[in-house]
Amino acid sequence: MMEVEGRVALIGHPVGHSLSPAMHNRAFEKLGLAWRYSAYEVRPKDLPAAMEGLLALGFRGWNVTIPHKEAACRLVDELSDEAAEIGAVNTVSVQHGRLVGYNTDGWGYVQSLKEETGMAPEGKICALIGAGGAARGIAHALLREGADVWVFARRSEQADRLASALRRVGPGRIDSREWGQLRRRLGDVNLCVNATPIGMTPHRDAMPFDPGWTREDCVISDIVYNPRETRLLRKARELGRATCDGVGMFVFQGAAAFRIWTGLAAPVPAMRETVEELLDLRAAEGGPDA
Ligand code: NAP
């Protein structure tokens, strides 16, 4: 049963430029809920005390962002299958006084991919560029959908580690691939995802790979969402490739958290509109990255 009033939060370091408070508060307003979402700066050493404090204060749940996603796994009473397999929590829900940890990043990514490109990942070969926290969630969700995932990272040990950690997930298969072979291998993939920060400040003029290396029917996806159209996506669009930007992943991970907390379907269009408006405003002001 949904509470009439509720408080939820974001904890991370830094959180000052986060778009989550505006996105969630707009969603609560849209559905006429007396809920409120606020962001709190929490340094790593203070994470256990912050989570205990939010529980004691009666918060219904919270999002967890950089650098706390892994540490939060060890501070909850229970983990969803995804969070346990990914090894990171981005959403905590208070259920009967117990903390349950979820990871909605990967689901958010796949939902956005399906909605924006119509692609069904099952049976597809997906190249993932980068092997950090976001890549882990995306790889997990693609594997669950039945896609095969090839992980490329400039540090081969990082790509190997990600592939080994998720090898048992299935039904798709995951393997690391050599960074030096990127150009040759991209001709064999159906989807290519940038999961590095290349494309955002200070790497705005850079691309992680040339979309011209892919087949004409390959979908090019970038999880960077500030700027909304990165150089990679612009070039991919000019080449006639289908593209998927990072705004959808951000909105849908939030929509999944919204549903976990409130039990209600999130007003996704209103959330997306809020995020896009803020990104456009920041771009016009030449302001900080989101
Ligand atoms: P992360 O954990 O730091 O991982 C970044 C990955 O990119 C690492 O594999 C890193 O390799 C690699 N990388 C960084 N700079 C590189 C370069 N110049 N050349 C090649 N590889 C490079 O970061 P993350 O949390 O996964 O986030 C990655 C990006 O996704 C960020 O830009 C973030 O804003 C974005 N993101 C978007 C969403 C969304 O909802 N749309 C969600 C999460 C993250 P090294 O370890 O060798 O540096």
CA 48 to ligand 1 center in whole angstroms:
26
Residue 15 inside a domain? The answer is yes
Segment 200-220, tens digit of pLDDT? 877 888 999 999 999 999 999
Answer whether the bond into residue 197 is a cis peptide, omega within 30°: no
Segment 234-244, tens digit of pLDDT? 999 999 999 99
What angle separates helix 156-165 from helix 133-144, to the nearest 10 degrees? 40
User: Which residues participate in catalysis according to the annotation?
Assistant: 69
Comparing C-alpha atoms, which of 85, 147, 97, 80 is closest to residue 120? Answer: 147
CA 133 to ligand 1 center in whole angstroms:
7
* CATH code for position 177: 3.40.50.720
What does pTM read for this prediction?
Answer: 0.95
168 token code pair: 């048992």
Is the domain of 84 the same as that of 118? no
Edge-to-edge, what's the strand order for the sheet holding 5-12?
34-41, 5-12, 61-64, 91-95, 98-102, 78-79
Atom 31 of ligand 1, residue of closest alpha carbon: 197
Atom 4 of ligand 1, residue of closest alpha carbon: 132
Separation between Cα atoms, residue 217 and residue 214, nearest integer Å: 8
Atom 40 of ligand 1, residue of closest alpha carbon: 250
- Domains contained in the chain, number: 2
Note the pLDDT of residue 120: 96
Range of the domain at 197: 106-245
Number of neighbouring beta carbons within 10 Å of residue 68 = 24
Separation between Cα atoms, residue 54 and residue 47, nearest integer Å: 11
* CATH code for position 281: 3.40.50.10860
What value does the mean pLDDT take over residues 251-267? Answer: 98
64 token code pair: 């967890």
Q: Is the CB of 246 under 6 A from ligand 1?
A: yes
Separation between Cα atoms, residue 169 and residue 137, nearest integer Å: 12
